[in-house]
A and B are shown apart, each in its own frame.
Chain A
Amino acid sequence: MAEKKIMLGNEAIARGAWEAGVTVSAAYPGTPSTEISESIVKYEEVYAEWSPNEKVAMEVAIGASMAGARALASMKHVGVNVASDPLYTVSYIGVNGGLVLVAADDPGLYSSQNEQDSRAVARAAKIPVLEPSDSNEAKEFIKFAYDLSEKYDTPVMLRTTTRLSHSQGLVNLEDRIALEPKPYEKNFRKNVMMPGNAKFRHLHVEAREKQMAEDGCAFPINRVEMRDTKVGVITSGIPYQYVREAMPDASVLKLGLVNPLPKQLILDFAKKVDTLYIVEELDPIIEEQVKSWGVACKGKELLTVQGEYSANMLREKLLGQTLDLESPAAAPQRPPILCPGCPHRSTFYAIQRLGLHAAGDIGCYTLGAVAPLSVVDTTVCMGSSISTLHGMEKARGKEYVKNWVATIGDSTFMHTGVNSLMNMVYNQATGTVLILDNSTTGMTGHQDHAGTGKTLKGDIVNAIDVTKLCEGMGVPNVRTVSAFDVKALMAAIKEEVTKDELSVIIVKAPCALLNKAKITMQYKVNPDACRACGSCMKPGCPAMTKGADGKVVINDTMCNGCGLCAQLCPFGAIEKVEV
């Protein structure tokens, strides 16, 4: 019997890519896709890297495919936007070695700035999309994706969602297919996308879509499960599982290929059932196409385009059942917060004290937007803090942005912040950019990047020197301050924002969770000296609570020893203790 192992959806995707003979993997971390790279790097036959952003990752994978290897690029849904420039054109070029892009969508917005549906991107780019429903299928489907990629000369998207990527299930382990790289052949018409060649390749793209829509009817990943014919459901991905729980007697057409749709298979299934439902999370991608063929069916009239589905939702909305459920209790919300000892807290406290606004970015430090810090005014996408600050200056002038700073993390700066800063230099902007350098990609769980001096494979390499990079671009003022020296940080920001020039302040201190085991000191409140003034509580450290007498208590299981509270106490009541 084959060995079975319990695996995260993302681990299974990595396993499948390895079994399929992949030798190159490139990605930028992003929830819910991160663990794909963290898993695939463990297979020694695979070269795996963190690229600085998703566009670069996609292009690395394209190059590997052109050179004849099977290659993988993985990213979250908004990362696909960054990678969309190469993606739309590699659709025309096609592949040499198989090429798969894993796009990880986030219905329910567990850790994202929007809820977009990557299937829509794939439709626009005219590439096939496979959608698995559990960990074992994730492994099987990505292997099939490589076969399709090479057979139809196309990049293939494997679409996952948070619920699939971060669920674990049993996976049948199989051996790796050992593949030699395919021979490289110079092919001007196929690989050089200039207008005349692209016009020619567009014919291939259209013919491929048509062919796959026909052939897809016989793909084993599309499965008809005939049961009672009163109700039929077309579904794919994780929603298939909710359909099975809520409607065990219904007939189901489970689609593994969701673009292009296997039209004849769908038409045949629709004829066999009395009432047809289409159950898909997010946008009505399947539904709108099926309706356009004149097939009577119901979908988004009954079900939402927002968030995740559940079996109970289908019971209520499709079956009209009234469920006897307790209502949720009224309980105060518990939103995510900056960790105890987080260097960003200290930074945002300094910005708050100076009464400045911050143009924000994507990372843990987006949490500088919420109370009690509430200094981050804007967040759009990776790298946008610097360019939005620039736009503000161009709209309102140099004096206006003296009340602003841009805040961006070190990994996000490497991702796309560099381009934005280049633009500020080139277009002679005034403004102060704070690079919050915590030596890691924090929010996604501590991945290395070009500035940390370590690769995904664990090799020690030259770290890109952010100071020299900024100076090299011609930023006139570049300085470094410790995030935990509040006085020095406030003085530095105050000085830089008043200049009629561009300034970068690198605010440095490692993420509190990076070396958690090495904490050597904590802080505690001397109750005799504490006057219950609350100064230390202002930055909102979760390790601190007020006792019944108003005096502050520091939770010794949470304190990471940053010492910010001790700096803020006017009475010297917070003392350092060795641990």
Chain B
Amino acid sequence: MDTKNIMIVGVGGQGTLLTSRILGGIAREAGYDVKLSEVHGMAQRGGSVVTFVRYGNSVAEPIVEEGCADVLIAFERLEALRYAHFLKKDGVLIANDQRIDPMPVVIGAAEYPDNILENLEKKYKVLKIDAMSEAKKLGNARAFNTIVLGMAAKHMDFPKEQWITVIEKTVPPKTIELNTKAFLVGYEM
């Protein structure tokens, strides 16, 4: 098969690393060659972060090139906008409908764009989700990223049970139940 290109973008601290590791784990579980590329260090402190996951028969580079992403998972609206041009023409954007103001907006040096997702819908297939509200219903706002992953999982070729197995293996033991529930909320939406 052709190499699949997945990107996870968000704000440092939103849990992009855990999500990419679940994705890497499932590709591996399915027997594919897989490469992931992560951001550690300073950018993790509230900066814009991007993680790449590529899987297929044989993967060379660990990054996704512009115009090549099959699935773009965005944990925040502005980050969806920033990286949308990485999508293939028929790629899918899974967007968490959340706003986190970057410092230039907080201090009034820039404006947070209006109608980001509505505008992106004109160009790309966009699936929106208010994962933060859904996560709060589960009693823990921090599980929002696994809800988003659940929604994205429907657009990938792995069975539900396999996802659950990999989540159980990947997330911290104390959070298995929460993350599994969160995944199913997104998956069944």
Which A residues are closer than 8 A to B by beta carbons? 6, 8, 31-32, 34-35, 110-111, 134, 163, 166-170, 238, 241-242, 244-245, 310-312, 323-329, 331-339, 364, 367, 370-372, 443-445, 537, 540, 542, 544-545, 556-557
Cβ contact within 8 Å between A312 and B66: yes
> Cβ of B41: which chain A residues have Cβ within 8 Å of it?
31-32, 110-111, 443-444
Cβ contact within 8 Å between A242 and B61: yes
**CB of B16 to closest CB in A, whole Å:** 12
Cβ contact within 8 Å between A168 and B36: yes
Cβ contact within 8 Å between B82 and A328: yes
Cβ contact within 8 Å between B47 and A336: yes
**CB of B142 to closest CB in A, whole Å:** 7
**CB of A74 to closest CB in B, whole Å:** 15
Of B109-117, B151-159, B181-189, the segment with at least 4 beta carbons within 8 Å of chain A is B109-117
Cβ contact within 8 Å between A332 and B112: yes
**CB of A115 to closest CB in B, whole Å:** 14
Cβ contact within 8 Å between A326 and B67: yes
B30 proximal to A (CB < 8 A): no
Given the known inter-chain contacts A336-B12, A336-B43, A338-B45, please indicate yes or no for A167 contacting B82, CB distance below 8 A: no
Cβ contact within 8 Å between B67 and A325: yes
Query: B57-89 CB contact bits vs A (8 Å, 1 = yes)?
Result: 001111101110000000000110110110000
Cβ contact within 8 Å between A310 and B63: yes
Given A167-B36, A323-B66, A542-B103, 13 extra CB contacts under 8 A: A6-B28, A6-B36, A110-B43, A167-B37, A167-B62, A169-B62, A241-B61, A325-B67, A327-B85, A337-B45, A337-B103, A371-B109, A540-B107
Given the known inter-chain contacts A168-B24, A326-B67, A557-B132, please indicate yes or no for A331 contacting B37, CB distance below 8 A: no
Cβ contact within 8 Å between B67 and A337: no
Cβ contact within 8 Å between A110 and B42: yes
> Cβ of B56: which chain A residues have Cβ within 8 Å of it?
none
> Cβ of B107: which chain A residues have Cβ within 8 Å of it?
371-372, 540
Cβ contact within 8 Å between A364 and B45: yes
12 A-B Cβ contacts within 8 A? A31-B42, A312-B67, A326-B85, A328-B82, A329-B81, A334-B46, A334-B79, A334-B82, A339-B13, A371-B104, A372-B103, A542-B46
The CA of A337 and the CA of B105, in the complex, are separated in Å by: 13
Which B residues are closer than 8 A to A by beta carbons? 11-13, 21, 24-25, 28, 33-48, 59-63, 65-67, 78-79, 81-82, 84-85, 100-107, 109-113, 123, 132, 141-142
**Which single member of B21, B39, B65 contacts A311 (CB below 8 Å)?**
B65
> Cβ of B113: which chain A residues have Cβ within 8 Å of it?
331-332
The CA of A167 and the CA of B59, in the complex, are separated in Å by: 12
The CA of A111 and the CA of B65, in the complex, are separated in Å by: 22
The CA of A495 and the CA of B152, in the complex, are separated in Å by: 57
Closest to A545 in B: B101
The CA of A312 and the CA of B85, in the complex, are separated in Å by: 14
Cβ contact within 8 Å between B111 and A542: no
Closest 4 CB pairs of A and B: A111-B41, A31-B41, A336-B47, A332-B110
Interface centre among A310, A312, A336 (most CB of B within 10 A): A336
> Cβ of B105: which chain A residues have Cβ within 8 Å of it?
332
